[in-house]
A and B are shown apart, each in its own frame.
Chain A
Amino acid sequence: MGKSSKKKNKVILPPQLPPDVEDDEVVVSDEDVEFFRGNEGHARALVRLDRKSIDSYVTRVADHDEDEVERLYEERERRRKAAEALKPKKEPEDLEVDRVDALPVKTLQGELVFNTAKKARYDDSSSGVKSKSEDKGVDAKQATQKEWKAKFKKEKGDSKLQNVHAQTEAPNGKLQSKVLEEVKEELSAEELFEKKKARLAEIGMSMLENPESNIRSLNDMLIICNDKDQKVVKLGLMSLLAVFRDIIPSYRIRQLTEKELTVEVSKDVKKMRYYEYTLLRAYKAYLQKLISLEKKSHFYTVAARCMCTLLDTAPHFNFRESILASVVRNLSSPDDAVRKMCCETVRSLFVNEGKHRGEATIEAVRLIADHVKLNDRQLHPDSIEVLLSLRFDEDLGKDETEVEKGKPKKNKRRQNQEVPKQLPMSDKKKTKRELISKARKEVDAELRAVSFTLDPKEKRSIQKETLAALFETYFRILKHSMSTSNSRGKAINVSSDVSHPLLAPCLEGLGKFSHLIDLGFMGELIACLKKLSGYSDHQFKILPDNTLSVSERLQCCIVAFKVWRSNLEALNVDLQDFFVQLFNLILEYRPERDHGEVLADALKTLLWEGKNQDMIRAAAFIKRLATFALSFGSAEAIAALITLKHLLLKNSKCRNMLENDSSGGSLSCLVAKYDPEAKDPYLSGALASVLWELSLLQKHYDASVSSMASNILSMANLNPTQNPVPISNANPLEAYKDLSMELELSKPVNKMLPPNCKKRRGKEFVSLSSDVLESSDFRADGDELKDKLKNHFAVLRGISENERLRAELNHTLSSINLYKEYKKQKKNAKSKASRKKIASALSCCV
């Protein structure tokens, strides 16, 4: 850097005023020391220079004109005032909080420096006028440093200064370096840290103030990031992050072609190119640094955070691929904080596609797909869950055929702008037009490359690719779950997290994007789900080796129905098997282990939303749900009852079950006797049963459950076309959520009024049993009692006797001791005061 500024041929820095610092406050930075080591010659030169300048000050030899000195004094005064003005507002100490835009900076002299950039400008102007010898270094910070350095011995030799004072002799360079080393040892780590922090902040500030001219300081900051002190490195990374976040342009920097390089360009362009080049190089170095630091556990969080922020703010910029790769990799990081951060970043990437024209989305989805593939699906569910925030245009899936016609419906406005331009005209001047359009296309392409407007067609293709990658991931997970589910161990309740961590979010995703699935896949998908849900050709028997959890299997059913329904139910698939599954899964449900919401959702999707059910099947479900409601908590019970009611409403014939018709009614069915454990709804014989459960459910402690039960029972008295007064029109899922414990506990407490119980109870005992009470009439028999009382007495007596004796003993002893005092007193003059003292002293010891 010294060199570059030299090249710029700035004027020499004049000797400066002694800073108002105490000698012992002087510190020398590591860098300085290093510099010294590396440049012995400079050091020697420095020695000379110091001699001279110090002489000049100490002796007050005015070898510079008075005005200059005065100006410098003024300047210092001004700076101090500025610093003072700022001091109360911000302390440099809270750098940790706001390191990023730390405004005031503590210089080496301990002064607060705020407007360094201003100063730089001031210096610039002065040098521009060439009136004085004021040099302008790259940044003000350096100026202040120099200022200070010039005064004192242990100084980095600034080449310019060296030139000025090169003539002065250098008698004992070695001595100087020794002193230097001593000083260095004295430096405490803290001071060093403070100093580096200050330097970072200063560079950062100047960068933010004027990125163009200070762009090279990036390299300085990068160097600081190589520091040994971990804290400094972290600070460095964070400051660089702040700087980059601010100065990264809103376009992508393109590599210059050979041709372009050869072309002569204006000064401005040159400057610009230089700026961009430097920025890009620093950015690259920074990223490399981050990626390498990421592997060290100590910097892991910091590096990850930096990358996430960068990706979030500049997804369009160069090197996005490497950041993205790293972030995606961290999606399944074991570190919760990092994982959350990465998920957030990727989500915002998906949501704010405008920033990067969707390119990053497809990249990310692909990366996730690869990631899943590479890690054999043993990742944290979060890494798949982020895909849920993907957004696709509504018509993307359906319009597949129309897409060919090039008639996208979305973005009409933009279409209007662009389409006319591209419309080829069948004209005579075809060739010319072609030329024009070709040129226009080029321009358009370039324009688009720069701006973020997206051709709908392009957008569509990007989305299609994204979708393909997405479903690829999903199907891979499904297939994998299927292939392993059979080979897994025999344990019955393998929790979902252990074996198929990705299945749950995958199913959720399939449910969400079910309308976008290609019809071709549909058949396979349904088959797949069927298998996963535990259905097998050997019906009536749940395979013991199907080890997906109940929730997962329920989800499979839900997804199958969603897929089927979102494709307008056009698909000719037999979903009967899923009903059988649900019928059995209801019995397998366990409140804490499985997610009640999934069950409620399944009830809602399969039964509540469904159209007319087969009567026998409906009856089977009705009976099972009623039984279910008896054994499970109120939330599950209400979901079941709502479904039950819905089924009864839809299948009025099933209302017979509400009445006790001993013959089983006119509805004859295959099975005459009800089998509560039947595996097949058609064979359960539920139509012959009576819903006795409801009479007990009326006694349910939960008011909503009991009223629902009564409500259902009241249907018995209505004729088939009538419906009972609806008491709630929530669907099972809503009802479940409404009664679930979490919600119940978050509802406000209704003020309890103490009940009014005026009646007074008599004296009878309510909770203590009589035999306990009888034992109370215990009476110690006389002798025992006597003994005990005697003992008590004896102990007390012993104690008091002991106390008395002790007092006596102490008294006697002190009397003896007093004799010595007495003797002494006799010898000495008998002063009243002393006697008193003794007396009191003695009394104390008694």
Chain B
Amino acid sequence: MAKKLGKKARKFAHKNLQSVAKRNRKLRSQFVRRPRRGSNGQVNELPGDADERMPQRANDSVMNDGEVASLVDGLEFPEDEIELNSDISDSDGYLSEDPDCLYYSDSEGSNVINDCVVQDGLDGHNDEMNIEIKKQKKKLKKLLDKDPEFGNFLEKWQSELESYRSTEDSDEEDMDCNDIDSNDKNPPNDKILTRTTINEWCQLVAKEPKAPSLRSLLNAYRDACRFGVHSRSPSVQRIQSTEVFYHIISFVLSEADNIFRALLEIPDNVNKGKIMNLRSSKKWQTIEPLIKSYLQNSLGLLNQLTDNQILAFVLTRLRASAVLFSAYPSTSRRLLKILIHLWASGDHNLSLSSFLMIREVASLLPECLDLCLNKSYNTYIATSKLVNDRNIKHIDFLMDCLVELYSLDVQKSCERATSSIGQLNAILRQASKTKVKEDLRKIDNWQYINCVNLWVRFLCCNYKDYNLHPLLPSVVQIIRGVAHLFPGTHYIPMRLRLVQMLNELSSCSQMFFPIPSLLFDCLEFRDTSQAEQGQKIKVNFSSLLKVPKNLLKSRHFHEECVLSSIDILSTHFAQWSYHVSFPEVATIPLILLKRLHEQTTIESLRRSVKRLLDQVYEHKIFVERKREGVSFSPNDKTSVESFVQDLQAEKSSGKVVFSTVLRSSAKKIGR
């Protein structure tokens, strides 16, 4: 009765209470994860690799759960959480097996148990428990001996308990969703899988893909994938050796794609349309359940695994079959969610392989692109909330990945870019209007800056190939506006970042930006004498937006300011180095640099400033000399252009002028 009621209620909830369902799902995913993380605490002897990774993962998910919700400025795109679970609904991918398929008993049977006893931290605990159980059982037996009537009583109670629990269980299980399913209902195949069995199957399948043992093998794969999900599931009994486990997984992962392709008789470069066409064919009907089982269980495996390397391996293998996901939209959606989560995680290799998979899926399945863009963007925004020395590279990588994704379909991405830039602009305007602390804080954070940076990079990558003119002015306005809103030495790192973006934009659009005006206060001489005695604190501008007060007067900060701005300035110079008016471009910055050179007491600064000065001077004279030889006037555009090209040709290799400076200062900055 209770069960029925529960089902009804669930149906109702599913229909009418989407948000509840959503929350349930969220909770569940936490549930599924937590125990494993918890277990990690007990298992102290876990391989170091996994240990290292755990905290980071935990970090990530905590951030996703908690902070995404509290995003201040709503930079995120709205996500459509509603999902159709139709095609993975009821079946769990269990395949009925061909009775012909033989099970072999393992020859080295007795060893089986032993070989799985790797250094398992739980074992000690388990042993203790075993002893305890024995002790208690003995006690119970004594009692039973003493009072045989108690036996009856106990039996009665046990049967009662059983029935009670079973109802409760099924309730729980149903609640427990589609992931961990009710395989109790299927005729469970609890024959133990031995190594020889698996070996035999593998050989059979390798020889002849159509062999019935494929089914059994996939079933075994299924059990391996959900191994440990449920303590009472038969999989635990079925797989008793690590060897077997490893074999099943590695064989299926590495061969499945080939097998399916052979079965479906499709070539390597098949696209989604063809798969859809195949769906009606008879061949598909027979093989479809196998594919479905494989894909679903692989997803389950992804959810289960905690080790970066294995995950990366699974992803690489799975990428080959990406096209198969096109037949199952909601499975692929689930896949994307997992992938994006993995993508944002700290490990570079894993991140990269998940990104490649995402890109593969996104380009193969256009209908997933939206989800993909939204989700990955939001994840990026959430991840980039905190930037420190360690994760700069990662965030940079994420940004590049995102640009890749957004470049897949520029038309679609442009709409997103437009709306996002509009948001950024609105926040900026609000802040500049009110100048309230809260509003300013919406800009003075990494999310905002990283978001601007993302669009700048997107523009840069696609400016040449697409008509992105309308976006440029607003992006430039945002950059200038932010730089204007946050004057003062505190914000030099942030400003330098913005100026760098301007440089990027300038080089992609071939427009002139008066970069020096934003760098002047970095090039001013500052008296830093009193900081000499202070401890040397490393200032890394790339992971800072605002410099802490105690560093403001430090020598190191000053050095860093000058070097970074020299860096940016030389990029600016390099861009216009062959223009007729290069001498004029350099005039005012040169005056400042000269003054700085005269005044500064810091030897390292003096040297790098001097180097830049010399080079610019030299080049300036060069251009001036060339200029004297020409006869066209400034309003002759074509001649001006050709002048640039002539000079470039003459100086052979493009923009090498200030590269030495760039490299040397880059070394110092550690970029």
Contact = CB atoms under 8 A, between A and B. Distances in A.
A809 B414 contact: no
A693 B640 CA distance: 11
Nearest to B117: A794
A692 B587 CA distance: 13
Given A631-B517, A637-B514, A808-B133, A800 B634 contact: no
A813 B132 CA distance: 10
Contacts of A805: 126, 129-130, 133
Contacts of B520: 590-592
A798 B126 contact: yes
Interface in A257-308: none
A117 B503 CA distance: 77
B136 A800 contact: no
B510 interface: yes
Interface string A826-846: 000000000000011011001
B495 to A, nearest CB: 9
Given A694-B634, A699-B510, A701-B511, A798 B132 contact: no
B255 to A, nearest CB: 15
Contacts of A630: 514, 581, 584-585, 587-588
Given A759-B465, A798-B43, A813 B136 contact: yes
B137 interface: yes
Contact of B140 (A636, A753, A815): A815
Contact of B512 (A633, A696, A753): A696
Contacts of B414: 754-755, 757
Nearest to A819: B143
B587 A798 contact: no
Contact of A753 (B118, B153, B470, B585): B470
A421 interface: no
B407 A761 contact: yes
Contacts of A842: 157, 161
A749 B466 CA distance: 24
B9 interface: no
Contacts of B622: none
A761 B465 contact: yes
Given A741-B480, A785-B250, A632 B517 contact: yes
A359 to B, nearest CB: 40
Given A631-B588, A658-B634, A746-B433, A816 B581 contact: no
A756 B413 CA distance: 11
B584 A794 contact: no
Among B150, B165, B397, which residue has the most Cβ atoms of chain A within 10 A?
B150
A591 B499 CA distance: 15
A626 B584 CA distance: 9
Contact of A695 (B46, B157, B581): B581
A758 interface: yes
Nearest to B415: A754
B525 to A, nearest CB: 7
Given A756-B467, A765-B404, A796-B228, A692 B307 contact: no
A654 interface: no
On chain A, which size bracket covers the interface? 35 or more
Contacts of B627: 692
A791 B580 contact: no
B165 A843 contact: yes
Nearest to B515: A631
A772 B403 CA distance: 15
A759 B466 contact: yes
A778 B585 CA distance: 47
Interface stretch (B93-101, B424-432, B534-542): B424-432
A381 B9 CA distance: 73
A819 B304 CA distance: 42
B521 A590 contact: yes
A747 to B, nearest CB: 9
A822 B150 contact: yes
A788 interface: yes
Contacts, number: 341
A656 B465 CA distance: 41
Nearest to A659: B633
Interface string B34-47: 01100100010011
A600 to B, nearest CB: 15
Interface in B617-671: 627-628, 630-635, 637, 640
Interface stretch (A217-225, A409-417, A712-720): A712-720
A793 B126 contact: no
A87 interface: no
B4 interface: no
Interface in A191-220: none
Contact of A818 (B153, B404, B630): B153
B236 interface: yes
A538 interface: no
Contacts of A779: 313, 316
B363 interface: yes
A741 B484 contact: yes
Among A492, A637, A741, A792, which residue has the most Cβ atoms of chain B within 10 A?
A792
A491 B527 contact: yes
A337 interface: no
B297 to A, nearest CB: 15
B361 interface: no
A760 B414 CA distance: 12
B136 to A, nearest CB: 4
B640 A695 contact: yes
A744 interface: yes
A632 B592 CA distance: 14
Contact of B227 (A755, A757, A793): A793
A634 B517 CA distance: 10
B366 to A, nearest CB: 10
B569 to A, nearest CB: 11
B557 interface: no
B628 A662 contact: yes
A128 interface: no
A692 B580 contact: yes
Nearest to B50: A791
Given A631-B514, A794-B120, A843-B164, A693 B588 contact: no
Interface in B114-160: 116-118, 120-123, 125-126, 129-130, 132-133, 136-137, 139-140, 143, 147, 150, 153-154, 157, 160
Contacts of A742: 432, 484
B316 to A, nearest CB: 7
Nearest to A745: B432
Contact of A714 (B49, B249, B422, B635): B635
Nearest to B470: A755
B352 interface: yes
A366 to B, nearest CB: 37
B639 to A, nearest CB: 9
A662 B625 CA distance: 12
Among B488, B517, B521, B589, which residue has the most Cβ atoms of chain A within 10 A?
B517
A780 B635 contact: no
A290 B443 CA distance: 45
B178 to A, nearest CB: 21
A842 B469 CA distance: 73
A640 to B, nearest CB: 11
A785 B310 contact: yes
A676 B467 CA distance: 39
Contacts of B35: 799
Interface in B392-415: 397, 400-401, 403-404, 407-411, 414-415
B75 to A, nearest CB: 17
In the A-B complex, the 3 residue pairs with the smallest Cβ-Cβ separation, listed nearest first, are: A796-B228, A798-B122, A713-B635
24 contacts: A627-B584, A627-B587, A631-B516, A633-B514, A696-B580, A741-B481, A745-B428, A752-B421, A755-B467, A757-B414, A757-B462, A767-B404, A775-B352, A789-B246, A791-B46, A792-B310, A795-B39, A797-B236, A798-B120, A799-B39, A799-B228, A800-B228, A804-B231, A813-B136
Given A753-B470, A792-B306, A804-B232, 7 more contacts: A630-B514, A662-B631, A700-B512, A756-B411, A760-B409, A790-B118, A812-B133
